[in-house]
Amino acid sequence: MASILEWLKRLFGRKLFNLEWLRSLFRRSLKFPVSFPTAGWETIPDDEIIEEEQMEELLQKNCYLPVEIGDILLSRYQVVGKLGWGITSTVWLVRDLEMNAYLALKMFSHDMLPGEESTYYDKIKQGNQQHLGSGRVRTKIAEFEYVRFEIFNHLGILHEPLGESLQDIQNRSVGERLDKLSIQSTIYQMLLALDYMHTECNLIHGDIKGDNIFQEIGDKSRLDRYVQTEIEHPSARKIDFAYTFYRSRPLEPASQLGKIQLGDLGSAYPGDVPRNGQPFQPALYRSPEVMLEKEWNYPVDIWNLGVWAWGAFEGSRLFPLKEDDDAYSTSAHLAYITGLLGPPPPDFIEPDTISAKHFDKDGNWIVEDCEVHTTSFEDLEKHLEGEDKEMFLDLMKGMITWRPEDRKTPRELIEHPWLQGICQW
């Protein structure tokens, strides 16, 4: 074979003929179910704690379903790689042997049967599919229940596979920030997604961040290459009795940002019932009405998107809080917001509430051991100039406001001048 390749290489010229591409032509096409190597992987040291291994309490309770690459679940879904993990689940690339298609499988731990999340995915599919935002929210293809030892029930939700998260893209970008065109496209597509969720599905997302925004795959051959790589270079792992801990293998990155989808409905809430005083949203993106235990609804998503987008574009947080939940301080968060937006409107302050512990009746800050430092959007923005900067800041000021009713709706923001001319696919 090598001699044939070298002959072809001489015939067509070294510059025009890629040897690795030629080898790929001679590889056997993948035939499922695939046989994966039984040795030859990197063994992760015992003292290196990875991924779900960090969740010691859940592991002690046997919460996670033990999954091996190569397993065939329910005699139908072959596991071909690990894509990621979370506190409540692990995520795998699987091959549907009946439909001859790749799917992403989110397998929940047995103590988590997220009926609400599954129901919300059903609502996403029931909305008006002609809405431009319907394709910007991740949907569920199917689900199944997997019973282990007749006592552990695991819910598996199947989705179309998606590519990199925007957090991955940001992490490998220059300055760990998204460029102007990328953030414009992202904000535009996420506003379409939120308009669809809010108006067609009556759902609040509640957890908008780079980890939950994903690129679409586009070129499906990337999935075959993913499996081929797993065969040729097995994922690093460690085996602890009956459980194998794999280091996740991401899909190869796309050459440029294209269509994206908003995923993970694990924090979603119905928006047709006003809520009051319930903890909600990740601490870094928590809106004022949630912090002050006031009534909240759809506008929390607009605040969330605005604060996240600012950090992704600027490369630094709008409110430089500590990310560790144990170190998070509502008072510090409110002080940063007050420094940027000024005092809250007087109608935000109510006696005998958390707001009265931070502000007097006129909105003046009264927390003695936490200072307010005055700043502005104009001072904090570092990457734009002139009219471009003015338009961007106008967009942000329409999203980041004390009063939720002062925030613009997704439909209004979609029409903002700074977002015009964006590729709409």
Judgement on whether residues 311 and 344 belong to the same structural domain of the protein: yes
Q: Where are the alpha helices (DSSP H) in 281-327?
A: 288-291, 299-314
133-176: per-residue pLDDT in tens?
999 999 999 999 998 877 788 999 999 999 999 999 999 999 99
| pLDDT at position 109 | 86
CATH (domain of 99): 3.30.200
Q: pTM for this one? A: 0.88
Long-range contacts of 37-40 (CB under 8 A, 24+ apart): 37/231, 37/234, 40/234
d(CA 304, CA 31): 44
Residue 143 lies in a domain: no
320, 300, 313: which is closest to 375 by C-alpha?
320
Residue 36 and residue 296: Cα distance in Å, rounded? 50
Q: Is the dihedral of CA 402, 403, 406, 412 positive or negative?
A: positive
Q: What is the CATH number of the domain that holds 303?
A: 1.10.510.10
What are 26's two structure tokens? Answer: 């001679």
Distance CA 422, CA 131 (A): 18
The neighbour count for residue 66, using CB atoms within 10 Å, is 12
Closest CA to 225 of 125, 338, 124, 81: 81
Tokens of 222: 């990337």
Question: Domain check: are 86 and 197 in the same one?
Answer: no
Spans of the chain below 70 pLDDT: 1-28, 111-115, 277-279, 323-326, 423-425
Q: Confirm whether 360 is a catalytic residue.
A: no
User: 347 with 377, same domain?
Assistant: yes
Which of 83, 116, 306 minimizes the C-alpha distance to 209? 306
Structure tokens at 421: 């001319």
Q: What is the pLDDT of residue 158?
A: 97
Domain count, the chain: 2
State whether 331 and 392 are in the same domain.
yes
Residue 399 lies in a domain: yes
Domain membership flag for residue 184: yes
Measure the CA–CA gap between 265 and 379, rounded to whole angstroms: 35
The pLDDT value given to residue 252 = 87
> Would you state the pLDDT for residue 78?
98
**Ranges assigned E (strand) in 128-284:** 142-148, 152-159, 162-165, 203-204, 213-216, 237-240, 243-246, 260-262, 269-270, 275-276
Catalytic residue among 96, 179, 207, 264: 207
| Same-domain status, 288 and 223 | no
Same domain, yes or no: 227 and 375: no
Does 247 share its domain with 272? no
297 in a structural domain: yes
Is 203 a member of any domain?
yes
Residue 12 in any domain: the answer is no
Q: Are 210 and 312 in contact (CB under 8 A)?
A: yes
106 is in an annotated binding site: yes
CA atoms within 13 A on the CB side of 301: 27
Whether 5 is covered by a domain: the verdict is no
Q: Are residues 249 and 264 in the same domain?
A: no
Do 259 and 215 meet the contact criterion of CB atoms below 8 Å apart?
Answer: yes
Contact 183, 309 (CB under 8 A): yes
Domain range for 387? 129-138+162-217+255-422
In this structure, the strands spanning 203-204 and 269-270 are antiparallel
pLDDT for the residue numbered 15: 42
The reply to whether 184 and 290 lie within a common domain is yes
**What is the predicted pLDDT for the residue at 28?**
54
Could you tell me if 200 and 294 lie in one domain? yes
Residue type, 58: L
Q: Is residue 24 part of a domain?
A: no
Integer Cα distance of 291 and 280 in angstroms: 9
Do 226 and 166 belong to one domain?
no
What pLDDT is attached to residue 27?
Answer: 47
The verdict on 289 and 171 lying in the same domain is yes
- Residue 136's Cβ-count burial label (10 Å; 0-12, 13-18, 19+) is buried
